[in-house]
Amino acid sequence: MNRTNLILCATLCSLSLQAKQPDKPNIIFILCDDMGYGDLGCYGQKYINTPNIDRMASEGMLFTQAYAGSPVSAPSRSTIMTGQHSGHAYVRGNKEYWKKSPTMKYKKNTDYAVSGQEPYDPNHIILPEIMKKNGYATGMFGKWAGGYEGSCSTPDKRGIDEFYGYICQYQAHLYYPNFLNRYSKAAGDTATIRITLEDNIDYPMYGDDYRKRTQYSADIIHKAALKWIDNQDGSQPFYGFFTYTLPHAELVQPNDSILKFYKKKFFHDKTWGGNEKGRYNESVHTHAEFAGMITRLDAYVGEIMAKLKEKGLDDNTIVIFSSDNGPHEEGGADPKFFGRDGKLKGLKRQCYEGGIRIPFIVKWPGKIKPGSVNNHQLAFYDIMPTFCEIIGDKNFPKKYINKQVEGDCFDGVSFAPTLLGNDEKQKKHEFLYWEFHETNQMALRMGDWKLFVKKGVPHLYNLATDIHEDKDVAKENIEIVEKMIDIIHKEHKPSKLFKVTLPSIDKIKNK
């Protein structure tokens, strides 16, 4: 073959490869577990190294007023999946199904035969199903928390092509578990199954020998996610939802260079005694373990970015990083030590800012101006309409409302204009809404006003001047409180499973 033919052949091959590139962008959404607003360097963290996520922020857009859907895991994830706030979504709490489940043996270990949480309503479409309808390959790796094993809502039934991780968030309290769950069309699975971790079950789940387990779930799940990216050839757009469990729950990880670095840094460290009932083992180096878990997660983000670049997919892939709710104190975690609330009041399970305001970073090469910082107010239920606008689904939301379900709705507002630098075209929320039955709390944000409700008692804060929510100005602004209470009463759809006390203006007058 002469030189001219070689050049022609190479040109035709190049055009063929270019033709395989989808018009729609790929999307990877990395959602970590219980990372507070101030846990990353780019949000002001001084003690924990997060170079890859910080670089992502410098190359993309960092949001300063982004909110989770709820102050706890399952309902927060539900708002992403359903596009509904927690006054409308069916799943509003961590209702467990393992408590009444029979047990089974993994060698000498006893575990639950069925585990998981309250299923998503099968009559309301969820985000992966929408992505599938728009031609996307879908993969989810990490924590599901949207139904129990064998229920009407497991990954195989809700638009996921490939899943590897935990169906049950209670199981996810352990980083060296007895099993993980998988659903893989490529492997021929017809349902979500359990994968026994054979090297783990030789040792008990609790006690000194637990540390002899070698199969670390966070690493296993991350490797499965990287393999899934590796299998994408660019001919079909893909949506990856990477719901990594770091840095939640038990403070444990491999004793490698990451952990050893922090053991030296926090030489005089705290010890936590463990809690078998909560599936938390003893932690001898609580600060080192926690910091190491965040840096380990940061390394995962770096490897995801490197894999996209290696595959030639980085220029056409949107990457989002966020957390499902505010910081926790479980398993010996010590948020005060790291100042990780970002000067916000409250923790996980609370509707104060610290429980619901979260880090949120988006990288979209060629579309987002690098190093952008934006104060647009968004919540997790905005993700569904944003994705629909980005991928060109012009039928949202009308097409997806189930007319057979009374009151079926979507609550989000697309923030695609903000991402594209069109702030003047960005529609703003009239209000953002939260409720959480476990602590009997509700909240409504309307501009800079924040109404916090506990056991029906309303408290009003002006976030523009009181970000820590210290000065209750409800009595001085009765008309504003009345308006916000009226919104809550209109937005709250009663739930038999997740009950809260609605606010009353009379409770201000009686305070």
Averages of pLDDT over runs of 10 residues in the chain (511 residues) are 46 42 90 96 96 98 98 98 98 92 94 96 98 98 97 98 97 96 96 98 93 97 98 95 95 96 92 85 93 98 98 97 94 84 87 98 97 98 98 95 95 98 96 98 98 98 97 97 98 97 86 62
271 with 348, same domain? yes
> Model pTM?
0.94
267: amino acid identity, one letter: F
* Domain C-terminal end among 383, 400, 428: 428
In terms of domains, do 424 and 472 share one? no
Residue 507 has a pLDDT of: 81
What confidence score (pLDDT) does residue 350 get? 98
What pLDDT shows up at residue 392?
Answer: 97
507 and 453 within one domain: yes
- Do 75 and 154 share a domain, yes or no? yes
Cβ-based neighbours of 506, under 8 Å, separated by 6 or more: none
Co-location of 313 and 337 in the same domain: yes
Q: What is the pLDDT of residue 11?
A: 41
Q: How many domains does the chain have?
A: 2
146 found inside a domain: yes
**CATH code, domain with 485:** 3.30.1120.10
Domain boundary among 368, 397, 428: 428
3-state DSSP assignment of residue 417: helix
Residues 307, 454, single domain; the answer is no
Residue 341 is predicted with a pLDDT of: 56
Rounded Cα–Cα distance for residues 376 and 131 (Å): 25
- Residue 322 falls inside a structural domain: yes
14 occurs within a structural domain: no
Long-range contacts of 196-199 (CB under 8 A, 24+ apart): 196/106
Cα separation, 78 vs 69, whole angstroms: 8
* Residues in a beta bridge with 182: 164, 193
pLDDT at residue 268, as a whole number:
84
The CATH number of the domain where 280 resides is what? 3.40.720.10
| pLDDT value of position 21 | 56
End residue of a domain, out of 428, 457, 477: 428
Give ∠ CA 145-146-150 in degrees, rounded to 5.
Answer: 100
Whether 299 and 410 map to the same domain: the answer is: yes
Tell me, yes or no, whether 226 and 108 share the same domain: yes
pLDDT at 81: 98
Let me know whether 275 and 316 are in one domain: yes
Tokens 């408290």 — which residue?
Answer: 459
Q: Where are the beta strands (DSSP E) in 290-374?
A: 317-323, 360-363, 372-374
Instruction: Give the domain extent around 477.
Output: 440-511
Q: Are 237 and 22 in contact (CB under 8 A)?
A: yes
Say whether both 202 and 229 belong to one domain.
yes
353 inside domain: yes
- Residue 435 in any domain: the answer is no
13 falls within a domain? no
Q: Is residue 187 part of a domain?
A: yes
Q: Judge contact between 303 and 222, C-beta under 8 A.
A: yes
Q: Which residue has the tokens 């993994």?
A: 106
